[in-house]
Amino acid sequence: MVSDIARHGRMEGRIALVTGAGSEGDEIGIGRAIALTLAREGARVTCLDIDLERAEATAAWICKEGGEAIGLAGDVSKPAECDAAVARTVETFGGLDTLINNVGISVPMTVEGFDLSMWQRTFDTNLLSAVLMSRAGAASLTESGRGSIVNISSIAGIVTFGSLAYGTSKAALHQLTCELALMLGRRGIRVNTVAPGHMATPMVARLLPETMRESRRKVAPLGVEGDAWDIARAVLFLASDDARFVTGVELPVDGGVTILGALAGVALLADDA
């Protein structure tokens, strides 16, 4: 899948670090789409992933297109590895302007089935990682004078899907965005959230049956699923000077799902039956 996004140099001269930037094989997950889009708009990009091979594959893709990128392995729930990723980025490219906190996991969990270890793993991956990466990058982002952090959340943090840990961690991630926006604003750093909705990613294609995907399409006011490039375009806007006066916002990229009341959703499903 190739993005048809126009290239306007909106990230020219910028240095970006994208966590969760790897994807399996030639697949385009959200992190890879973000890294490619920022690079195509002129950014030099550090592609960070827990899987080095996947990170390097994304970086190689960027370099093949004529961009500049490096691939690094790192566990962003560990402070030292976050610090190391930022330090390597600064050492390689000379600074850091843009941080994209994209890593996340989803584990089904009910109250009765509460699992403390999985709760902690979910919050470490979805929330603590963003804290640690923002902390690690704050000094360089301040020095940039045009720093931007974009946290990738989920509409599960806005409306309820019935997963105790995932939705709660994603709701907390946007509150973290707001706290950071306040704390870092006078240092010239903007902090925003993108909340993906029903996205047609490679992982979704593997995990969800077609009947479930059809229901997702029907319940959206636009009648379609989104894809990884839709998220990348939203991130590009928030990371660029186009959004220079935007901070502390949560941007749902969801085809309108989060505006629906329950009865409206039922009606849409019935209309398309």
Higher pLDDT pick, 193 / 7: 193
Query: Residue 212: pLDDT band by 50, 70, 90 thresholds?
Result: confident
What pTM did the predictor assign? 0.93
Residue 243 annotated as catalytic: no
Please list the residues that pair with 15 across neighbouring strands: 44
Q: For a pLDDT cut of 90, what percent of the chain falls above it?
A: 76
Q: Which residues contact 70 (CB under 8 A, 6 or more apart)?
A: 45, 46, 47, 59, 88, 89, 92
- Average pLDDT of the segment spanning 149-160: 95
Higher pLDDT pick, 187 / 160: 187
Catalytic member of 61, 93, 166, 229: 166
pLDDT tens across 243-263, in order?
Answer: 999 999 999 999 999 988 777
By three-state DSSP, how is residue 203 classified? helix
Q: For a pLDDT cut of 70, what percent of the chain falls above it?
A: 96
Confidence (pLDDT) at 211: 82
Confidence (pLDDT) at 124: 97
Confidence (pLDDT) at 146: 96
At position 222, the amino acid (one-letter code) is L
Enumerate the domain spans of the chain: 15-209+225-259
Confidence (pLDDT) at 272: 66
- Average pLDDT of the segment spanning 167-171: 96
pLDDT tens across 57-94, in order?
Answer: 999 999 999 999 999 999 999 999 999 999 999 999 99
CATH of 15-209+225-259, one of 1.10.390.10, 3.30.2310.20, 3.40.50.970, 3.40.50.720: 3.40.50.720
Per the prediction, the chain carries an average pLDDT of: 92
Closest CA to 146 of 193, 99, 90: 99
Closest CA to 268 of 219, 226, 214: 219
Confidence (pLDDT) at 1: 46
Lowest-confidence segment of 166-175, 192-201, 262-271 by average pLDDT: 262-271
By three-state DSSP, how is residue 149 classified? strand
pLDDT tens across 97-151, in order?
Answer: 999 999 999 888 889 999 999 999 999 999 999 999 999 999 999 999 999 999 9
**Under a CB-based contact definition with an 8 Å cutoff, are residues 71 and 52 in contact?**
yes
* Residue 273 in this model has a pLDDT that exceeds 70: no
Closest CA to 92 of 72, 75, 76, 70: 70
Q: Round to whole Å and give the CA distance between 82 and 192.
A: 20
The two structure tokens encoding residue 267: 């009606």
By three-state DSSP, how is residue 65 classified? coil
